[in-house]
Chain A
Amino acid sequence: MADKIIEFDKVIAGYSPSLTILNETTLDARRGEITLLIGPNGAGKSTVLKTLFGMLVPRSGEVRFEGKRINGKPPRALLADGIAFVPQGRNLFGSLSVRHNLELGGITLPRGELPARIEEVLARFPRIRERIDNQASTMSGGEQKQLEVGRALLLRPRVLLIDEPSIGLSPKLVQEVMTLLRGLADAGTTVLMVEQNVRTALKYSNRALVLEMGRLALDRPASELLHDPDLNRLFLGGHARTAA
Protein backbone atom coordinates (compact mmCIF):
# COMPACT_ATOMS: atom_id res chain seq x y z
CA MET A 1 0.00 0.00 0.00
CA ALA A 2 1.29 3.47 -0.87
CA ASP A 3 2.30 5.71 2.03
CA LYS A 4 0.16 8.57 3.29
CA ILE A 5 1.24 11.92 1.89
CA ILE A 6 -1.73 13.99 3.11
CA GLU A 7 -3.42 13.47 6.47
CA PHE A 8 -6.33 15.15 8.21
CA ASP A 9 -6.49 14.32 11.89
CA LYS A 10 -9.74 15.33 13.63
CA VAL A 11 -9.84 18.62 11.76
CA ILE A 12 -12.54 21.14 12.64
CA ALA A 13 -12.87 23.99 10.16
CA GLY A 14 -15.51 26.25 8.65
CA TYR A 15 -16.21 29.63 7.17
CA SER A 16 -17.14 31.35 10.44
CA PRO A 17 -17.32 30.38 14.11
CA SER A 18 -21.01 29.60 13.68
CA LEU A 19 -20.57 27.67 10.43
CA THR A 20 -18.56 24.53 10.99
CA ILE A 21 -18.17 22.37 7.89
CA LEU A 22 -15.42 19.92 8.78
CA ASN A 23 -16.40 18.14 11.94
CA GLU A 24 -13.42 16.23 13.32
CA THR A 25 -12.62 15.08 9.80
CA THR A 26 -10.01 12.36 9.62
CA LEU A 27 -8.82 11.15 6.24
CA ASP A 28 -5.72 10.66 4.17
CA ALA A 29 -4.47 10.59 0.59
CA ARG A 30 -1.77 8.21 -0.57
CA ARG A 31 1.24 8.96 -2.70
CA GLY A 32 0.79 8.46 -6.46
CA GLU A 33 -2.92 7.75 -6.21
CA ILE A 34 -6.06 9.55 -7.26
CA THR A 35 -8.19 9.96 -4.17
CA LEU A 36 -11.75 10.97 -4.94
CA LEU A 37 -13.79 12.93 -2.43
CA ILE A 38 -17.53 12.47 -2.88
CA GLY A 39 -20.64 13.21 -0.89
CA PRO A 40 -23.75 15.36 -0.93
CA ASN A 41 -23.69 19.15 -1.18
CA GLY A 42 -22.41 20.69 2.04
CA ALA A 43 -20.60 17.53 3.10
CA GLY A 44 -17.31 19.43 3.18
CA LYS A 45 -15.53 18.16 0.05
CA SER A 46 -14.34 21.52 -1.25
CA THR A 47 -13.68 22.66 2.31
CA VAL A 48 -11.19 19.81 2.68
CA LEU A 49 -9.25 21.13 -0.32
CA LYS A 50 -9.42 24.76 0.86
CA THR A 51 -8.26 23.81 4.34
CA LEU A 52 -5.45 21.73 2.94
CA PHE A 53 -4.35 24.61 0.73
CA GLY A 54 -4.28 27.14 3.56
CA MET A 55 -7.33 29.10 2.46
CA LEU A 56 -9.10 28.13 5.67
CA VAL A 57 -7.35 27.72 9.00
CA PRO A 58 -8.51 24.72 11.07
CA ARG A 59 -9.94 25.61 14.47
CA SER A 60 -8.53 22.38 15.84
CA GLY A 61 -7.01 19.15 14.66
CA GLU A 62 -4.02 18.74 12.44
CA VAL A 63 -3.39 18.79 8.69
CA ARG A 64 -0.16 17.07 7.70
CA PHE A 65 1.83 16.93 4.48
CA GLU A 66 4.48 14.22 4.42
CA GLY A 67 4.09 13.92 8.17
CA LYS A 68 4.64 17.64 8.87
CA ARG A 69 1.94 19.88 10.28
CA ILE A 70 0.81 22.49 7.74
CA ASN A 71 -2.21 24.02 9.51
CA GLY A 72 -2.85 27.48 8.10
CA LYS A 73 0.36 27.56 6.06
CA PRO A 74 -0.19 30.13 3.30
CA PRO A 75 -0.72 29.01 -0.31
CA ARG A 76 2.58 30.50 -1.44
CA ALA A 77 4.48 28.32 1.03
CA LEU A 78 2.45 25.24 0.13
CA LEU A 79 3.21 25.78 -3.56
CA ALA A 80 6.89 25.80 -2.64
CA ASP A 81 6.34 22.55 -0.72
CA GLY A 82 4.86 20.94 -3.83
CA ILE A 83 1.10 21.28 -3.44
CA ALA A 84 -0.91 22.93 -6.22
CA PHE A 85 -4.62 23.68 -6.32
CA VAL A 86 -7.06 24.03 -9.20
CA PRO A 87 -10.24 25.44 -7.62
CA GLN A 88 -13.78 25.01 -8.84
CA GLY A 89 -15.03 27.25 -11.65
CA ARG A 90 -13.13 29.52 -13.99
CA ASN A 91 -9.80 30.57 -12.58
CA LEU A 92 -8.12 32.17 -15.55
CA PHE A 93 -7.41 35.86 -16.00
CA GLY A 94 -9.56 36.42 -19.03
CA SER A 95 -8.08 39.65 -20.32
CA LEU A 96 -4.53 38.30 -20.19
CA SER A 97 -3.04 36.10 -22.87
CA VAL A 98 -2.60 32.36 -22.46
CA ARG A 99 1.17 32.90 -22.18
CA HIS A 100 0.75 35.48 -19.44
CA ASN A 101 -1.63 33.19 -17.55
CA LEU A 102 1.05 30.52 -17.67
CA GLU A 103 3.72 32.99 -16.56
CA LEU A 104 1.65 33.93 -13.53
CA GLY A 105 1.33 30.23 -12.70
CA GLY A 106 5.10 30.20 -12.34
CA ILE A 107 5.41 33.49 -10.47
CA THR A 108 6.97 31.73 -7.47
CA LEU A 109 9.67 30.11 -9.63
CA PRO A 110 13.10 31.64 -10.24
CA ARG A 111 12.72 33.78 -13.38
CA GLY A 112 15.32 31.76 -15.32
CA GLU A 113 13.46 28.48 -14.92
CA LEU A 114 10.15 29.73 -16.24
CA PRO A 115 10.67 29.41 -20.02
CA ALA A 116 11.69 25.75 -19.73
CA ARG A 117 8.73 24.99 -17.46
CA ILE A 118 6.32 26.68 -19.85
CA GLU A 119 7.78 24.68 -22.72
CA GLU A 120 7.27 21.52 -20.66
CA VAL A 121 3.59 22.35 -20.21
CA LEU A 122 3.13 23.28 -23.86
CA ALA A 123 4.64 19.97 -24.90
CA ARG A 124 2.00 18.22 -22.81
CA PHE A 125 -0.85 20.42 -24.08
CA PRO A 126 -0.38 21.11 -27.80
CA ARG A 127 -3.77 22.82 -27.99
CA ILE A 128 -2.58 25.45 -25.51
CA ARG A 129 0.50 26.05 -27.64
CA GLU A 130 -1.74 26.82 -30.61
CA ARG A 131 -3.56 29.46 -28.57
CA ILE A 132 -0.55 30.82 -26.72
CA ASP A 133 -0.97 34.44 -27.81
CA ASN A 134 -4.77 34.53 -27.61
CA GLN A 135 -6.70 36.08 -24.75
CA ALA A 136 -7.56 33.37 -22.24
CA SER A 137 -11.23 34.38 -22.33
CA THR A 138 -11.46 33.40 -26.02
CA MET A 139 -10.68 29.74 -25.31
CA SER A 140 -13.31 27.02 -25.11
CA GLY A 141 -14.27 25.55 -21.74
CA GLY A 142 -12.13 22.46 -22.32
CA GLU A 143 -9.13 24.51 -23.37
CA GLN A 144 -9.52 26.73 -20.33
CA LYS A 145 -9.56 23.74 -18.01
CA GLN A 146 -6.47 22.35 -19.75
CA LEU A 147 -4.78 25.71 -19.23
CA GLU A 148 -5.74 25.75 -15.55
CA VAL A 149 -4.32 22.27 -15.04
CA GLY A 150 -1.26 23.09 -17.13
CA ARG A 151 -0.69 26.26 -15.13
CA ALA A 152 -0.81 24.25 -11.90
CA LEU A 153 1.65 21.72 -13.34
CA LEU A 154 4.22 24.42 -14.05
CA LEU A 155 5.51 24.00 -10.53
CA ARG A 156 5.80 20.22 -10.98
CA PRO A 157 3.66 19.64 -7.88
CA ARG A 158 3.86 16.41 -5.95
CA VAL A 159 0.23 16.84 -4.91
CA LEU A 160 -2.49 18.25 -7.15
CA LEU A 161 -5.77 19.32 -5.54
CA ILE A 162 -8.53 19.70 -8.08
CA ASP A 163 -12.12 20.73 -7.42
CA GLU A 164 -14.86 19.76 -9.87
CA PRO A 165 -12.73 19.52 -13.00
CA SER A 166 -15.64 18.33 -15.16
CA ILE A 167 -17.96 21.31 -14.56
CA GLY A 168 -19.07 22.84 -17.84
CA LEU A 169 -17.23 20.30 -19.98
CA SER A 170 -18.68 17.96 -22.59
CA PRO A 171 -18.48 14.22 -21.83
CA LYS A 172 -15.62 13.85 -24.30
CA LEU A 173 -13.63 16.62 -22.62
CA VAL A 174 -14.36 15.15 -19.21
CA GLN A 175 -12.76 11.89 -20.39
CA GLU A 176 -9.75 13.86 -21.62
CA VAL A 177 -9.31 15.64 -18.29
CA MET A 178 -9.70 12.39 -16.34
CA THR A 179 -7.20 10.64 -18.60
CA LEU A 180 -4.80 13.50 -18.01
CA LEU A 181 -5.19 13.20 -14.23
CA ARG A 182 -4.73 9.42 -14.42
CA GLY A 183 -1.54 9.95 -16.39
CA LEU A 184 -0.25 12.40 -13.78
CA ALA A 185 -0.96 9.95 -10.97
CA ASP A 186 0.72 7.11 -12.85
CA ALA A 187 3.77 9.35 -13.21
CA GLY A 188 3.86 9.81 -9.42
CA THR A 189 1.74 12.88 -8.72
CA THR A 190 -0.78 12.49 -5.94
CA VAL A 191 -4.20 13.75 -6.97
CA LEU A 192 -6.93 14.69 -4.49
CA MET A 193 -10.08 15.36 -6.47
CA VAL A 194 -13.60 16.54 -5.70
CA GLU A 195 -16.00 15.59 -8.45
CA GLN A 196 -19.78 15.44 -8.84
CA ASN A 197 -19.51 13.29 -11.94
CA VAL A 198 -18.97 10.33 -9.65
CA ARG A 199 -19.27 7.33 -11.96
CA THR A 200 -16.79 8.71 -14.47
CA ALA A 201 -14.38 9.90 -11.78
CA LEU A 202 -14.46 6.54 -9.98
CA LYS A 203 -13.27 4.80 -13.16
CA TYR A 204 -10.06 6.80 -13.03
CA SER A 205 -9.52 6.91 -9.26
CA ASN A 206 -7.79 4.56 -6.85
CA ARG A 207 -9.74 5.37 -3.73
CA ALA A 208 -13.01 7.02 -2.88
CA LEU A 209 -13.72 8.82 0.36
CA VAL A 210 -17.37 9.53 1.09
CA LEU A 211 -17.99 12.55 3.30
CA GLU A 212 -21.19 13.17 5.20
CA MET A 213 -21.78 16.21 7.40
CA GLY A 214 -18.09 16.95 7.49
CA ARG A 215 -17.01 13.48 8.57
CA LEU A 216 -15.53 10.56 6.70
CA ALA A 217 -18.35 8.05 6.25
CA LEU A 218 -16.72 5.57 3.93
CA ASP A 219 -13.25 4.77 2.59
CA ARG A 220 -13.19 2.17 -0.17
CA PRO A 221 -11.30 1.28 -3.33
CA ALA A 222 -12.83 3.20 -6.22
CA SER A 223 -13.37 0.09 -8.36
CA GLU A 224 -15.32 -1.51 -5.52
CA LEU A 225 -17.53 1.51 -4.95
CA LEU A 226 -18.18 1.87 -8.67
CA HIS A 227 -20.06 -1.41 -8.63
CA ASP A 228 -21.88 -0.75 -5.38
CA PRO A 229 -25.64 -0.69 -5.97
CA ASP A 230 -25.92 1.90 -3.18
CA LEU A 231 -23.64 4.36 -4.91
CA ASN A 232 -26.35 6.85 -5.81
CA ARG A 233 -27.74 6.82 -2.28
CA LEU A 234 -24.29 7.41 -0.79
CA PHE A 235 -23.59 10.22 -3.18
CA LEU A 236 -26.90 11.89 -2.53
CA GLY A 237 -26.46 11.75 1.20
CA GLY A 238 -27.92 8.45 2.36
CA HIS A 239 -26.29 6.94 5.42
CA ALA A 240 -23.19 4.91 4.64
CA ARG A 241 -23.44 1.24 5.52
CA THR A 242 -19.80 0.69 6.35
CA ALA A 243 -17.99 3.27 8.38
CA ALA A 244 -14.33 3.71 7.62
Chain B
Amino acid sequence: MGDLIQLIVSGIATGAIYALAALGFTLLWQAAGVINFSQGEFVMLPAFAILLFIALGAPLWLAFLLACVAAMLVLGIGFKWVIVDPLIRHGVIPLVIATLGLSIGLKSTLKAGYSAEAHPFPSPFPGGQFSIADVNISYADIGTLVVAGFVVISLQLFLNRTVTGRAMQAVAQNTDAAKVLGIDVKRMVLYTFLINAVLAAVAALLVTPTYLAKFDMGDAIGQKAFFAAIIGGFNQTRGALLGGVLIGVLENLVGFYVSPAYKEGVALILFLVVIVFRPEGLLGRAEERKV
Protein backbone atom coordinates (compact mmCIF):
# COMPACT_ATOMS: atom_id res chain seq x y z
CA MET B 1 0.00 0.00 0.00
CA GLY B 2 2.87 2.31 0.85
CA ASP B 3 4.41 1.69 -2.57
CA LEU B 4 1.14 2.46 -4.28
CA ILE B 5 0.71 5.80 -2.51
CA GLN B 6 4.31 6.75 -3.22
CA LEU B 7 3.91 5.88 -6.88
CA ILE B 8 0.70 7.86 -7.16
CA VAL B 9 2.11 10.97 -5.46
CA SER B 10 5.28 10.83 -7.52
CA GLY B 11 3.20 10.20 -10.66
CA ILE B 12 1.00 13.20 -9.96
CA ALA B 13 4.13 15.35 -9.53
CA THR B 14 5.58 14.17 -12.85
CA GLY B 15 2.15 14.48 -14.48
CA ALA B 16 1.85 18.05 -13.22
CA ILE B 17 4.96 18.92 -15.23
CA TYR B 18 3.52 17.29 -18.34
CA ALA B 19 0.33 19.21 -17.63
CA LEU B 20 2.15 22.55 -17.59
CA ALA B 21 3.54 21.91 -21.06
CA ALA B 22 0.19 20.47 -22.21
CA LEU B 23 -1.61 23.59 -20.98
CA GLY B 24 0.56 25.58 -23.35
CA PHE B 25 -0.53 23.33 -26.21
CA THR B 26 -4.22 23.83 -25.47
CA LEU B 27 -3.94 27.57 -24.85
CA LEU B 28 -2.14 28.16 -28.13
CA TRP B 29 -4.60 25.99 -30.01
CA GLN B 30 -7.65 27.67 -28.53
CA ALA B 31 -6.48 31.25 -28.86
CA ALA B 32 -4.52 31.14 -32.08
CA GLY B 33 -5.22 27.82 -33.80
CA VAL B 34 -1.55 26.89 -33.43
CA ILE B 35 -0.27 23.38 -32.76
CA ASN B 36 3.26 23.85 -31.54
CA PHE B 37 5.33 20.73 -32.17
CA SER B 38 8.38 22.46 -30.75
CA GLN B 39 6.78 22.66 -27.32
CA GLY B 40 9.39 20.24 -25.92
CA GLU B 41 12.18 22.52 -27.11
CA PHE B 42 10.29 25.41 -25.50
CA VAL B 43 11.01 23.59 -22.23
CA MET B 44 14.60 22.72 -23.17
CA LEU B 45 15.66 26.30 -24.02
CA PRO B 46 14.71 27.89 -20.67
CA ALA B 47 16.59 25.07 -18.93
CA PHE B 48 19.78 26.09 -20.73
CA ALA B 49 18.96 29.77 -20.16
CA ILE B 50 18.74 29.09 -16.41
CA LEU B 51 22.13 27.34 -16.54
CA LEU B 52 23.56 30.29 -18.46
CA PHE B 53 22.36 32.83 -15.91
CA ILE B 54 23.65 30.64 -13.06
CA ALA B 55 27.03 30.48 -14.81
CA LEU B 56 26.96 34.29 -14.94
CA GLY B 57 26.59 34.35 -11.16
CA ALA B 58 22.85 34.55 -10.58
CA PRO B 59 21.26 32.43 -7.85
CA LEU B 60 18.73 29.84 -9.05
CA TRP B 61 15.63 31.92 -8.30
CA LEU B 62 17.02 34.95 -10.14
CA ALA B 63 18.23 32.79 -13.01
CA PHE B 64 14.70 31.37 -13.27
CA LEU B 65 13.10 34.82 -13.33
CA LEU B 66 15.55 36.01 -15.98
CA ALA B 67 14.86 32.86 -17.99
CA CYS B 68 11.12 33.61 -17.77
CA VAL B 69 11.73 37.08 -19.21
CA ALA B 70 13.98 35.67 -21.93
CA ALA B 71 11.37 32.98 -22.71
CA MET B 72 8.63 35.59 -23.01
CA LEU B 73 10.76 37.60 -25.43
CA VAL B 74 12.06 34.72 -27.54
CA LEU B 75 9.47 31.92 -27.21
CA GLY B 76 6.53 34.27 -26.76
CA ILE B 77 6.90 37.42 -28.82
CA GLY B 78 9.66 36.15 -31.13
CA PHE B 79 7.90 32.86 -31.93
CA LYS B 80 4.65 34.69 -32.65
CA TRP B 81 6.17 37.39 -34.82
CA VAL B 82 8.70 35.34 -36.75
CA ILE B 83 6.88 32.03 -37.25
CA VAL B 84 3.19 32.22 -36.39
CA ASP B 85 2.10 35.59 -37.76
CA PRO B 86 3.50 35.08 -41.29
CA LEU B 87 2.18 31.52 -41.56
CA ILE B 88 -1.13 31.48 -39.70
CA ARG B 89 -3.12 32.81 -42.65
CA HIS B 90 -2.04 29.78 -44.69
CA GLY B 91 -3.68 27.33 -42.29
CA VAL B 92 -2.63 24.75 -39.73
CA ILE B 93 -0.40 22.50 -41.86
CA PRO B 94 2.32 25.04 -42.74
CA LEU B 95 2.54 25.91 -39.06
CA VAL B 96 2.81 22.27 -38.07
CA ILE B 97 5.66 21.82 -40.54
CA ALA B 98 7.31 25.04 -39.37
CA THR B 99 7.17 24.06 -35.69
CA LEU B 100 8.50 20.59 -36.50
CA GLY B 101 11.35 22.27 -38.37
CA LEU B 102 11.89 24.65 -35.48
CA SER B 103 12.12 21.69 -33.11
CA ILE B 104 14.80 20.01 -35.23
CA GLY B 105 16.61 23.30 -35.80
CA LEU B 106 16.77 24.22 -32.11
CA LYS B 107 18.04 20.79 -31.09
CA SER B 108 20.64 20.66 -33.85
CA THR B 109 21.83 24.19 -33.19
CA LEU B 110 22.30 23.53 -29.49
CA LYS B 111 23.96 20.18 -30.10
CA ALA B 112 26.39 21.47 -32.73
CA GLY B 113 26.88 24.94 -31.32
CA TYR B 114 27.11 24.22 -27.61
CA SER B 115 27.05 20.69 -26.29
CA ALA B 116 25.63 17.23 -26.88
CA GLU B 117 26.26 16.28 -23.25
CA ALA B 118 23.75 16.13 -20.44
CA HIS B 119 24.37 18.91 -17.92
CA PRO B 120 23.43 18.61 -14.25
CA PHE B 121 20.77 21.05 -13.14
CA PRO B 122 20.23 22.28 -9.58
CA SER B 123 17.00 21.30 -7.90
CA PRO B 124 14.96 24.15 -6.47
CA PHE B 125 13.92 21.82 -3.63
CA PRO B 126 15.91 20.24 -0.79
CA GLY B 127 17.02 16.65 -1.16
CA GLY B 128 15.69 13.89 1.03
CA GLN B 129 12.24 12.70 1.84
CA PHE B 130 9.83 12.46 4.68
CA SER B 131 7.95 9.42 5.91
CA ILE B 132 4.47 8.90 7.22
CA ALA B 133 3.81 5.31 8.31
CA ASP B 134 5.49 3.30 5.55
CA VAL B 135 5.05 5.94 2.87
CA ASN B 136 8.13 7.89 1.78
CA ILE B 137 7.61 11.02 -0.29
CA SER B 138 10.50 13.11 -1.59
CA TYR B 139 10.64 16.84 -0.97
CA ALA B 140 11.19 17.25 -4.71
CA ASP B 141 7.82 15.65 -5.46
CA ILE B 142 6.06 17.79 -2.90
CA GLY B 143 7.81 20.92 -4.14
CA THR B 144 6.91 20.08 -7.73
CA LEU B 145 3.27 19.57 -6.77
CA VAL B 146 3.14 22.82 -4.82
CA VAL B 147 4.78 24.90 -7.57
CA ALA B 148 2.83 23.30 -10.44
CA GLY B 149 -0.40 23.51 -8.42
CA PHE B 150 0.25 27.16 -7.65
CA VAL B 151 0.91 27.98 -11.31
CA VAL B 152 -2.15 26.09 -12.53
CA ILE B 153 -4.47 27.58 -9.91
CA SER B 154 -3.09 31.07 -10.56
CA LEU B 155 -3.66 30.59 -14.28
CA GLN B 156 -7.21 29.39 -13.74
CA LEU B 157 -7.94 32.31 -11.42
CA PHE B 158 -6.51 34.71 -13.98
CA LEU B 159 -8.57 33.20 -16.80
CA ASN B 160 -11.82 33.03 -14.82
CA ARG B 161 -11.68 35.94 -12.41
CA THR B 162 -10.20 38.79 -14.43
CA VAL B 163 -11.67 40.70 -17.34
CA THR B 164 -8.50 40.11 -19.35
CA GLY B 165 -8.67 36.37 -18.65
CA ARG B 166 -12.30 36.23 -19.71
CA ALA B 167 -11.48 38.26 -22.82
CA MET B 168 -8.82 35.65 -23.62
CA GLN B 169 -11.44 32.92 -23.20
CA ALA B 170 -13.79 34.88 -25.43
CA VAL B 171 -11.14 35.10 -28.16
CA ALA B 172 -10.53 31.36 -27.83
CA GLN B 173 -14.24 30.56 -28.13
CA ASN B 174 -15.28 32.93 -30.89
CA THR B 175 -12.70 35.28 -32.35
CA ASP B 176 -15.12 37.10 -34.65
CA ALA B 177 -17.61 37.77 -31.86
CA ALA B 178 -14.75 39.02 -29.69
CA LYS B 179 -13.66 41.45 -32.43
CA VAL B 180 -17.21 42.73 -32.76
CA LEU B 181 -17.24 43.64 -29.07
CA GLY B 182 -14.02 45.61 -29.42
CA ILE B 183 -11.84 43.08 -27.60
CA ASP B 184 -8.23 43.57 -28.63
CA VAL B 185 -7.82 40.13 -30.19
CA LYS B 186 -4.16 40.57 -31.17
CA ARG B 187 -3.23 41.53 -27.65
CA MET B 188 -5.12 38.61 -26.13
CA VAL B 189 -3.39 36.17 -28.50
CA LEU B 190 -0.02 37.70 -27.59
CA TYR B 191 -0.82 37.20 -23.89
CA THR B 192 -1.45 33.52 -24.65
CA PHE B 193 1.98 33.17 -26.24
CA LEU B 194 3.58 34.88 -23.25
CA ILE B 195 1.76 32.58 -20.82
CA ASN B 196 2.87 29.56 -22.83
CA ALA B 197 6.48 30.74 -22.61
CA VAL B 198 6.26 31.13 -18.83
CA LEU B 199 4.61 27.72 -18.44
CA ALA B 200 7.48 26.21 -20.44
CA ALA B 201 10.03 27.94 -18.21
CA VAL B 202 8.32 26.64 -15.06
CA ALA B 203 8.22 23.13 -16.55
CA ALA B 204 11.94 23.47 -17.30
CA LEU B 205 12.69 24.42 -13.70
CA LEU B 206 10.75 21.45 -12.38
CA VAL B 207 11.70 18.73 -14.84
CA THR B 208 15.35 19.40 -15.62
CA PRO B 209 16.79 18.27 -12.26
CA THR B 210 15.49 14.80 -13.21
CA TYR B 211 15.93 14.82 -17.01
CA LEU B 212 19.21 16.83 -16.93
CA ALA B 213 19.76 19.66 -19.39
CA LYS B 214 20.38 18.10 -22.76
CA PHE B 215 19.67 19.15 -26.31
CA ASP B 216 17.04 16.41 -26.75
CA MET B 217 15.43 16.62 -23.31
CA GLY B 218 12.37 18.18 -24.93
CA ASP B 219 11.60 15.10 -27.04
CA ALA B 220 9.97 13.14 -24.23
CA ILE B 221 8.24 16.02 -22.48
CA GLY B 222 6.98 17.54 -25.73
CA GLN B 223 5.58 14.21 -26.86
CA LYS B 224 3.93 13.49 -23.54
CA ALA B 225 2.52 16.99 -23.27
CA PHE B 226 1.01 16.57 -26.72
CA PHE B 227 -0.51 13.22 -25.78
CA ALA B 228 -1.74 14.68 -22.49
CA ALA B 229 -3.47 17.52 -24.31
CA ILE B 230 -5.19 15.09 -26.71
CA ILE B 231 -6.12 12.63 -23.99
CA GLY B 232 -7.69 15.32 -21.81
CA GLY B 233 -9.24 17.27 -24.67
CA PHE B 234 -7.32 19.71 -26.85
CA ASN B 235 -9.90 22.44 -26.37
CA GLN B 236 -10.08 22.29 -22.57
CA THR B 237 -7.41 23.57 -20.19
CA ARG B 238 -8.64 21.26 -17.43
CA GLY B 239 -8.37 18.42 -19.95
CA ALA B 240 -4.64 19.10 -20.26
CA LEU B 241 -4.32 18.82 -16.48
CA LEU B 242 -6.19 15.53 -16.38
CA GLY B 243 -4.24 14.14 -19.33
CA GLY B 244 -0.89 15.09 -17.78
CA VAL B 245 -1.68 13.60 -14.38
CA LEU B 246 -3.14 10.42 -15.92
CA ILE B 247 0.02 9.83 -17.93
CA GLY B 248 2.30 10.57 -14.99
CA VAL B 249 0.49 8.22 -12.60
CA LEU B 250 0.00 5.38 -15.10
CA GLU B 251 3.66 5.56 -16.18
CA ASN B 252 4.74 5.11 -12.60
CA LEU B 253 2.30 2.26 -11.94
CA VAL B 254 3.17 0.39 -15.14
CA GLY B 255 6.90 0.96 -14.58
CA PHE B 256 6.68 -0.52 -11.10
CA TYR B 257 4.07 -3.26 -11.39
CA VAL B 258 4.59 -4.38 -15.01
CA SER B 259 8.03 -3.47 -16.27
CA PRO B 260 10.06 -0.27 -16.63
CA ALA B 261 10.47 -1.27 -20.28
CA TYR B 262 6.78 -0.52 -20.90
CA LYS B 263 6.73 2.78 -19.04
CA GLU B 264 7.45 4.92 -22.08
CA GLY B 265 4.65 3.27 -24.05
CA VAL B 266 1.90 4.22 -21.59
CA ALA B 267 1.22 7.68 -23.02
CA LEU B 268 1.06 6.33 -26.56
CA ILE B 269 -1.35 3.50 -25.66
CA LEU B 270 -3.58 5.84 -23.67
CA PHE B 271 -3.50 8.29 -26.57
CA LEU B 272 -4.52 5.60 -29.07
CA VAL B 273 -7.36 4.35 -26.86
CA VAL B 274 -8.75 7.86 -26.41
CA ILE B 275 -8.41 8.71 -30.10
CA VAL B 276 -10.37 5.59 -31.05
CA PHE B 277 -13.12 5.73 -28.44
CA ARG B 278 -13.39 9.43 -27.59
CA PRO B 279 -11.59 11.51 -30.20
CA GLU B 280 -12.55 14.81 -28.56
CA GLY B 281 -10.65 13.75 -25.41
CA LEU B 282 -11.86 12.80 -21.95
CA LEU B 283 -13.03 16.31 -21.07
CA GLY B 284 -13.03 17.85 -24.55
CA ARG B 285 -16.02 18.89 -26.59
CA ALA B 286 -16.61 18.06 -30.23
CA GLU B 287 -15.55 20.99 -32.36
CA GLU B 288 -16.49 22.18 -35.82
CA ARG B 289 -14.22 24.44 -37.76
CA LYS B 290 -15.17 26.31 -40.91
CA VAL B 291 -12.97 25.52 -43.87
Contacts and interface: CB of A to CB of B under 8 A. Distances in A.
A104 B167 contact: yes
Contact of A93 (B174, B179, B182): B174
B276 interface: no
Given A76-B182, A76-B184, A79-B182, A107 B177 contact: no
A161 to B, nearest CB: 9
A197 interface: no
Contact of B166 (A75, A86, A87, A100): A100
B3 interface: no
A87 B180 contact: yes
Interface in B158-200: 163, 166-167, 169-170, 173-174, 176-184
Given A76-B184, A103-B163, A107-B163, A95 B169 contact: yes
Interface string A178-207: 000000000000000000000000000000
B177 A91 contact: yes
Contacts of B170: 93, 96, 104
Interface in A74-109: 75-76, 79-80, 85-87, 91-96, 100, 103-105, 107-108
A75 B169 contact: no
A105 to B, nearest CB: 6
B177 A93 contact: yes
A65 interface: no
A173 B136 CA distance: 64
Contacts of A94: 173
A151 interface: yes
- The winner among A55, A91, A107 for most chain B CB atoms within 10 A is A107
Highest count of chain A CB atoms <10 Å: which of B166, B167, B177, B182: B182
B181 A107 contact: yes
B192 to A, nearest CB: 16
Which of A55, A75, A80, A103 has most B Cβ within 10 Å? A75
Nearest to A111: B163
Contacts of A104: 163, 166-167, 170, 178, 181, 183
Contacts of A87: 176-177, 180
Given A76-B184, A151-B181, A103 B166 contact: yes
B189 to A, nearest CB: 15
Interface in B182-228: 182-184
B163 A75 contact: no
A53 B180 CA distance: 8
Contacts of A76: 182, 184
Nearest to B166: A100
Nearest to A77: B182
Contacts of A103: 163, 166
A18 B99 CA distance: 31
Nearest to B179: A75
A49 B147 CA distance: 49
B181 A96 contact: no
B182 A96 contact: no
Contacts of B184: 76
Given A91-B174, A91-B177, A107 B169 contact: no
Contact of B173 (A53, A86, A93): A93
Contacts of A105: 181
A241 to B, nearest CB: 36
Interface of B: 163, 166-167, 169-170, 173-174, 176-184
Interface of A: 53, 55, 75-76, 79-80, 85-87, 91-96, 100, 103-105, 107-108, 151
13 contacts: A75-B180, A76-B182, A76-B184, A79-B182, A91-B174, A93-B174, A95-B173, A96-B170, A103-B166, A104-B167, A104-B170, A104-B183, A107-B163
